[in-house]
Amino acid sequence: MNFEFTEEQEEIRMAVREFAEKEFTPELARECDQKEEFPMELYKKAAELGFIGLHFEEEYGGQGYGLTELCLSIEELCRADSTLGTAILIGGFGSDMIHMFGTEEQREKYLPQVASGEWIASGAFTEPARGSDITMVDTSAVKDDDGYTINGGKTLISNAPIADFGVILCQTDPGVQHRGSSLLIVDKGTPGFDNNPIHGKMGIRAATLGEYSFSDCKVPLDALIGVENMGFYHTLEFLDVGRVAVAAQTVGMAQGALDRALAYAKERTQFGRPISDFQVIQHKIADIATQIEAARLMTYKAAWYIDQGRIIPKWSCMAKNFATSAAGRTVSEALQIFGGYGFIAEYDIERIYRDVRVTELYEGTTEIQKNMVARFLLRGE
């Protein structure tokens, strides 16, 4: 076993950290949070440095790295700021479906635009009546000789108001549930394709959210990603990778909360001495650090397996479940160290507390992760 990152991986970590420390100002984070505004200029700066599409091959504008390097980048971005880091992380959401299952023509058309920061992507799976259940979807896509006609709607879609294209999970064979869904690319401006923003989110407010609606929306045959009627299985594989990225996101958020709590505990005095001198604060710090390290180890183990060509859904679900739950607990404890000041927007910990909560909901709720882990174990996997 070797628990050390390579020299190149450490260089990536430090490059991302340097960028985030320079560009992620508290003023920008608060502004984007308050206005629910995506930091487009910041996103493009990250792209110029190669941090967007880091895992895309060089011919598609990426750096050719694996999931481990991507997770290192994500952790550092979200450690520096939970709001801005998450917005940058989610900016390319959905494009990985094209990277994993798309044709060469689709990859050449979309991936370089995402990697350069010119285009924002979205992935649309959730529906109002279905939630976490994607075994059958209500959004239909009827095929003819010219393409697919889409009708229906999606909700709680990251980037929907600003995305240049969406990857949409549709039912192409309504009679066989999950064995009859497909993935289709729909470009912004396609007739019959519309979006509606959703405002008032609790956290990660710089990552825009919205709904999609489709009314006789016609896309060509070559909009199909992967194999027709295999969309459910493609989505599961995509999520098995994406859940590890979410785990890295929450490790970064939790580490950022600990960084701030440590600094505050050293400078805040009560009863004539720094509160870091009190055993109750020391125990909180020790517990927070231990849970973060456990989540980090599980996250990078899952990423390592995937980089070895072994996508093991059990590990992805365990990493996502543990890391997001641990982050929720540790950020709450970090806020407690701040006392009443932690409840005020002037302190970043208040924003981290709001931001981290959603990670137990998207890309499969905590309960869904537990269901899946138990199912794998009961099958002897």
Question: Over 90: is that where the pLDDT of 20 sits?
Answer: yes
pLDDT over threshold 90, residue 71: yes
Residue-wise pLDDT for 310-330, tens only, equals 999 999 999 999 999 999 999
Domains of the chain, start order: 7-115 (1.10.540.10), 121-229 (2.40.110.10), 232-378 (1.20.140.10)
Tell me what percent of the residues of the chain surpass a pLDDT of 90: 96
91-149 tens-digit pLDDT: 999 999 999 999 999 999 999 999 999 999 999 999 999 888 899 899 999 999 999 99
363 among known catalytic residues? yes
Is residue 27 predicted with pLDDT exceeding 90? yes
Closest CA to 49 of 78, 27, 17, 26: 17
Options 23, 211, 360, 363, the catalytic residue: 363
The predicted pLDDT at position 163 comes to 98
Q: What are residue 93's phi and psi, to 5 degrees?
A: -60, 130
pLDDT at 2: 86
pLDDT band with cut points at 50, 70 and 90 for residue 67: very high
Kindly give the residue spans of alpha helices, DSSP state H, lying in the chain.
7-23, 26-35, 40-48, 67-80, 82-90, 95-101, 104-115, 231-267, 279-307, 313-338, 348-356, 366-378
Residue-level pLDDT at 133: 86
Residues 6+ apart with CB under 8 A from 347: 260, 338, 341
Residue 163 neighbours by CB under 8 Å, 6+ apart: 94, 120, 121, 122, 188, 195
pLDDT confidence of residue 236 = 96
248-281 pLDDT, tens digit each: 999 999 999 999 999 999 999 999 999 999 999 9
Query: What is the Cα gyration radius of the chain?
Result: 21
